[in-house]
A and B are shown apart, each in its own frame.
Chain A
C-alpha cells in the first residue's frame, strides 16, 4: 500500500494538520457549522474578528450577491473579547484543530491590548490582525493602506504577544509589496491575503445603494485572479510565510495558491455556499497530489515556475 499522503504544513511555528484554514468571518466561532460538518476538518479556524467591546455592526441590508461573488458590509459585528472567552472558547478548545484569534481595533492601543489579552487565552494558537477591513469607517482602513501606520500597529501588537502573529493585508492598495515588507519589518510572523476588495452594487429599482453601508467587501470566485496576483507579489517581497486566500472554492483553487508558494490557504465564502467545502477541497487536493505522485503538500508548495 502506498505511503499515506502527508497533508500537514507549517506556517512558521504554527503547525497545521492540513493547509486549509477557515477564513475569519465565514465560519463564525466554529459551532455554527457543527451540525453540517466537523469544524475540526480544517487545519485551523480563524474565528470571527474580535474587538475589545462587542460591536453591533452595520444596518441592513448587509449582503448582496454579485456575479460569481458577494459584497458584504457586516460592519464587523462580534461578541467582543469577554464573551468570546467566556462563551466561545470552551467549544473551540474541544476541537482537534488550531484556533486563530482574528482581531481588530480602532487605535494602536486597541490592537496592543487585544494582542496581549488574546495571548493569555487558553486554546488560542495564533493571532491574526485584521488591519484591512474596508467596512469600518474609522480606524481599520487607515492602518492597512498606509505602510507607516501598518508598521506602527504591528510593532505595537508584536511587543504584546509571543504567539505566531499573522497580519491580514488589505488588497485595496496600489502596491501590496510595500505593505507586505512594512509588516514583515515590524515583526509579523506571517501574512495572510487578500481581505475583501472594496466594491459597490446599485439597486436600480430604487436608484440607491444595494448595501446600507453603500460600499462593501467583495469576496468569492470573482476575486481569485486578483488574490493570486497579490499572493505572488507578496511572496516575491517577503521571507515570512504567506497564507493565500480569495475566492477558493475548489481543490484546484487551493492548489493554485499553494503552488505559488503560499504556506497555507484560507477558505471563506465557500463555507456559505457549501458547508462541506472543506472536505471536498481536501479530497480534491489528495486526488491531485496522488495523481502527480507527490507525497506531501510541503513538497508541492512553491513548485510554480515561469517558463
Chain B
C-alpha cells in the first residue's frame, strides 16, 4: 500500500453520496466521494456511520466493491436497521466513513480464480480490476440461490473476463453450487501452480472452497465478514477461530485470510 502525505494510513472522513441504486432483491449500490481520499487495496473495508446520534450506535462494515476516480462504491444487501438507513440516503447526503481498514487480497497467481457466493461478490470487482491491471488472467465463478442473487453482470461483463455461474435452482448457469465450478477449474487446469483462489461468501461455501483448494494444493484466500464494533482491532468482538489456536480478528488480521489460517467449522 502506498503511503499518504502524512503518517496516518487511515482516515475518518466525511463523504458525499454520489450514487444510490437499488438492484432488486434487497441488494443496493452506494457510491461516495470522501472529502479525504485514502489509498485502498482490494479486500479492504470501510466502516460507515449511517447517521449521527445513538441509534444505531455502531458503525457498519462494508467491503470495498470498487474504487474509481477517488470515489468508493459499496455493494450490500439490506439486512437490518443500519443498511435500511443507508438505502434511504440520497445523492448529496453526507456520511461519516472510516477507511481503509483491514488486510486486503494478496498478489495472486497467474490465473486468479475469483469465487463469489451471493453478496460475497462485493469485493471481487475491485480485485478483478486490480488483477487485470497487473497483467494476470483472472476468472470469475459466481454462485447464488437464484439468478437474482447473481450480481454485477454489467460491471463484470465489460471486463470481458471468463465467467461461470451456478445457481441452486438452475435459473442461471449450472444447477448447483459454485464449489462445483471450482472443482471443474481444478480438473481442467493444465498447471495447478498457476492458479490461486480468492473467495468471498457464506462460511459454509468458504469452508468448502478452502477444502477443495487445499486438497488441490492451490493457494486460497478468503474474505470473511463479521459484526464489528470498532473495526480497528481493539474490541475483539469480530474474532474467528484460528487453526493454530486461539482467535484472529476479522477486522485487523483480516478480513482476507489465507484459508489455512482459519479453523473451519
Indicate which residue in B57, B233, B234 contacts A26 across the interface (CB closer than 8 Å).
B234
- Which A residues touch B229, using CB under 8 A? 63, 70, 72, 269, 272
Say whether B25 faces chain A, with CB atoms less than 8 Å apart. Answer: no
B244 to chain A, nearest CB (A): 13
Please tell me the number of chain A residues within 8 Å of chain B, measured between CB atoms: 37
A77 touches B236 (CB 8 A): yes
Say whether B54 faces chain A, with CB atoms less than 8 Å apart. Answer: yes
Interface-central residue, B8, B240, B252, by most chain A CB under 10 Å? B8
| A 9-29 binary contact with B (CB < 8 Å = 1; else 0) | 000000000000000011110
- Which B residues touch A33, using CB under 8 A? 232, 234
A275 touches B58 (CB 8 A): no
Return the chain A residue nearest B58 by Cβ: A65
In the docked arrangement, what's the CA distance between A275 and B230, Å? 8
| B 206-234 binary contact with A (CB < 8 Å = 1; else 0) | 00000000000000000000011110111
- Which A residues touch B247, using CB under 8 A? 56-57, 77
Contacts known (A26-B234, A32-B252, A70-B58); A274 close to B49, Cβ less than 8 A: yes
Return the chain B residue nearest A60 by Cβ: B239
In the docked arrangement, what's the CA distance between A64 and B81, Å? 13
B255 to chain A, nearest CB (A): 15
Say whether A68 faces chain B, with CB atoms less than 8 Å apart. Answer: yes
B57 touches A36 (CB 8 A): no
Contacts known (A35-B8, A57-B239, A60-B239); A28 close to B58, Cβ less than 8 A: no
B235 touches A275 (CB 8 A): no
In the docked arrangement, what's the CA distance between A77 and B245, Å? 13
Say whether A142 faces chain B, with CB atoms less than 8 Å apart. Answer: no
Indicate which residue in B10, B55, B246 contacts A56 across the interface (CB closer than 8 Å).
B246
- Which A residues touch B96, using CB under 8 A? 274
- Which A residues touch B10, using CB under 8 A? 35-36
Say whether A296 faces chain B, with CB atoms less than 8 Å apart. Answer: no
Say whether A171 faces chain B, with CB atoms less than 8 Å apart. Answer: no
A28 touches B55 (CB 8 A): no
B236 touches A274 (CB 8 A): no
In the docked arrangement, what's the CA distance between A27 and B236, Å? 11
B232 touches A275 (CB 8 A): yes
In the docked arrangement, what's the CA distance between A274 and B239, Å? 21
In the docked arrangement, what's the CA distance between A63 and B236, Å? 9
| A 180-209 binary contact with B (CB < 8 Å = 1; else 0) | 000000000000000000000000000000
Contacts known (A65-B56, A69-B57, A70-B57); A36 close to B237, Cβ less than 8 A: no
| A 65-77 binary contact with B (CB < 8 Å = 1; else 0) | 1011110101001
Indicate which residue in B56, B236, B252 contacts A62 across the interface (CB closer than 8 Å).
B236
In the docked arrangement, what's the CA distance between A26 and B232, Å? 10
- Which A residues touch B56, using CB under 8 A? 65
Interface-central residue, B11, B230, B238, by most chain A CB under 10 Å? B230
A76 to chain B, nearest CB (A): 9
In the docked arrangement, what's the CA distance between A69 and B53, Å? 11
B235 touches A63 (CB 8 A): yes
Indicate which residue in A34, A74, A222, A275 contacts B236 across the interface (CB closer than 8 Å).
A74
Q: Which 3 A-B pairs have the closest CB atoms?
A: A63-B237, A28-B234, A35-B10
Pull 22 A–B residue pairs with CB atoms less than 8 Å apart, ordered by A.
A25-B235, A27-B234, A28-B232, A28-B233, A28-B234, A32-B233, A32-B252, A34-B8, A35-B8, A35-B10, A36-B12, A48-B234, A57-B236, A65-B57, A69-B54, A77-B247, A220-B57, A249-B54, A269-B57, A272-B59, A273-B59, A274-B12
